Amino acid sequence: MDKKVLDHDVPTEEPKTFHFLAKFYPENAEEELVQEITQHLFFLQVKKQILDEKIFCPPEASVLLASYAVQAKYGDYDPNVHKRGFLAQEELLPKRVINLYQMTPEMWEERITAWYAEHRGRARDEAEMEYLKIAQDLEMYGVNYFAIRNKKGTELLLGVDALGLHIYDPDNRLTPKISFPWNEIRNISYSDKEFTIKPLDKKIDVFKFNSSKLRVNKLILQLCIGNHDLFMRRRKADSLEVQQMKAQAREEKARKQMERQCLAREKQMREEAERTRDELERRLMQLKEEATMANEALMRSEETADLLAEKAQITEEEAKLLAQKAAEAEQEMQRIKATAIRTEEEKRLMEQKVLEAEMLALKMAEESERRAKEADQLKQDLQEARESERRAKQKLLEITSKSSYTQSMNSSTTALPTDLPSFNLISESLSFDFKDTDMKRLSMEIEKEKVEYMEKSKHLQEQLNELKTEIEALKLKERETALDILHNENSSRGNSKHNTIKKLTLQSTKSRVAFFEEL
């Protein structure tokens, strides 16, 4: 730290590019990354290493990690904002994964978005931590590889990470052949290209290996010393400074959680108020439409009543006229009978005229009766039309009274959001008192989160298996890399990063040293 940057062994070309990276990886990111800015920078580092394929990540896990990266960047999924194609310019998956399947960018985006939508409610730091919790279980996470040779001259790879030293076959960086945890190592040193490892058990002989390049020896030693020191410190009580930092981090996390809960409640109340307002507006529009329809029905009823009244009047006048004509025809018949012609011919003609007059009178009587019935029917229709008009007026009056009530409710409801409690993060008067009840409640919530996490992990594994099965048919087998094949073999055997190391360390240190020298 007391040396200028340009005094270090850096490339001479211009421009110079520097990467700010963590040298030592945490065993448990959630426990060890205390400050949010540290977590964010480490997330960016791990994400870049996965995308650059420095850390091998299986396809289904790549999709899940991409969904958490999207949640960290864009916040909660909103279908009205995050429309198809919004991830077109984002680099979210390793090129190896993209090339391995016959899938379009739209198909990848659809699968990433499906998981992204499930992360609703997670803040940026929570999404980044979920990303790191998955990434830290990948086989190549945090491992620095160096080419070495044992006594026999066999070419091997030395892996240095937070858990210890691991020996790999050069063609298989996923599964170590031998592992030595840091708690079994007493001393590490090098002379020229030769490294010497002294086990904790003094009865066991030291084992040695040769590095391929002299200039990396110092880096190997630094990584070994630093990781060994951190490994031992993690298994001891935290220092006072770390305890204070963790306490501050817990208080900050609790404060942010309470802030998010308050904001979530306020958001929920506002959404409910908006939904109520929208419902009232919809109801008001419905009532207005009903009122318009009632008015139209009333107008049609009035017009129908007027037409029926006019038709009834005309029919009544026609009936009177027919009755008058029938009476005149009866009088004419009586007159004709009284003045009948004496002669037989005249009598016959007169009888014929009388018969015709009788038939005409009969027809006129029937027509008069029919017109009278029609007039009665029209009067009845008029009465029904007036009754319909009365009911329409009554319904219109009811709708008008409902409309005025709804408007008063609407005005009071729309005013609700302004009266809701607002939450101002910048306010100088903002304060939080962490009482015992608050901390107990927070502890209960943490326990609840643990149970939910276990259930979610099971659900997550099921989802990963489901996605793997779904896209398996689209895989191009000829494009599989050696690491893909090795990972599939490990998965089929049920091997993972941690249980492989656990199995290897169950062997005695002496047998592992002997095995290393015999490789």
> Residue 455's pLDDT band (boundaries 50, 70, 90)?
low
Residue 132 has pLDDT above 90, yes or no: yes
- 95 vs 337, higher pLDDT: 95
Q: What are phi and psi of 35, to 5 degrees?
A: -90, 145
> Residue 491's pLDDT band (boundaries 50, 70, 90)?
confident
155-160, strands of its sheet edge to edge: 178-181, 164-168, 155-160, 144-149, 207-211, 194-199, 185-191
Query: For the stretch 348-384, what's the b/e string if a residue is b when 16 or more beta carbons lie within 10 angstroms of its beta carbon?
Result: eebeeeeeebeeebeebeebbeebbebbeebeebbee
Provide the β-strand partners of residue 167. 158, 178
Residue 436 has pLDDT above 60, yes or no: no
Residue 504 has pLDDT above 50, yes or no: yes
State how far the Cα of 315 lies from the Cα of 321, in Å rounded to an integer. Answer: 10
> Residue 342's pLDDT band (boundaries 50, 70, 90)?
low
What would the mean pLDDT of 198-202 be, rounded to a whole number? Answer: 84
The pLDDT of residue 425 is: 30
The pLDDT of residue 319 is: 86
61 neighbors 47 (Cβ within 8 angstroms): no
Closest CA to 177 of 195, 199, 159: 159
> Residue 355's pLDDT band (boundaries 50, 70, 90)?
confident
Residue 47 has pLDDT above 80, yes or no: yes
35 neighbors 45 (Cβ within 8 angstroms): no
The pLDDT of residue 192 is: 83
Provide the β-strand partners of residue 199. 185
H helices of 91-208, in order, are 95-100, 105-116, 124-135
Q: What are phi and psi of 156, to 5 degrees?
A: -135, 175
Interhelix angle 436-472/59-74, rounded to 10 degrees, is 130
What's at 132, amino acid-wise?
A: L
The pLDDT of residue 328 is: 87
State how far the Cα of 176 lies from the Cα of 167, in Å rounded to an integer. Answer: 5
The pLDDT of residue 191 is: 86
> Residue 427's pLDDT band (boundaries 50, 70, 90)?
very low
The predicted-structure confidence for 468-487, as pLDDT tens digits, reads as follows 887 887 887 888 888 888 88
Helix (H) or strand (E) holding 343: none
- 494 vs 84, higher pLDDT: 84
The least confident of 13-22, 157-166, 502-511 is 502-511
> Residue 41's pLDDT band (boundaries 50, 70, 90)?
very high
Residue 24 has pLDDT above 90, yes or no: yes
The pLDDT of residue 246 is: 84
The predicted-structure confidence for 298-309, as pLDDT tens digits, reads as follows 898 888 888 888
Closest CA to 125 of 46, 11, 38: 38
> Residue 433's pLDDT band (boundaries 50, 70, 90)?
very low
The predicted-structure confidence for 260-275, as pLDDT tens digits, reads as follows 888 888 888 988 999 9
The predicted-structure confidence for 137-194, as pLDDT tens digits, reads as follows 999 999 999 999 888 888 999 999 999 999 999 999 999 988 889 988 888 888 888 8
> Residue 444's pLDDT band (boundaries 50, 70, 90)?
low
State how far the Cα of 478 lies from the Cα of 67, in Å rounded to an integer. Answer: 27
Chain mean pLDDT for the chain = 81
Residue 14 has pLDDT above 90, yes or no: no
Contacts (Cβ under 8 Å, ≥6 apart) of 448: none
Helix (H) or strand (E) holding 186: strand 185-191
What would the mean pLDDT of 491-496 be, rounded to a whole number? Answer: 77
State how far the Cα of 508 lies from the Cα of 210, in Å rounded to an integer. Answer: 23
Residue 422 has pLDDT above 60, yes or no: no
Percent of the chain with pLDDT over 70: 85
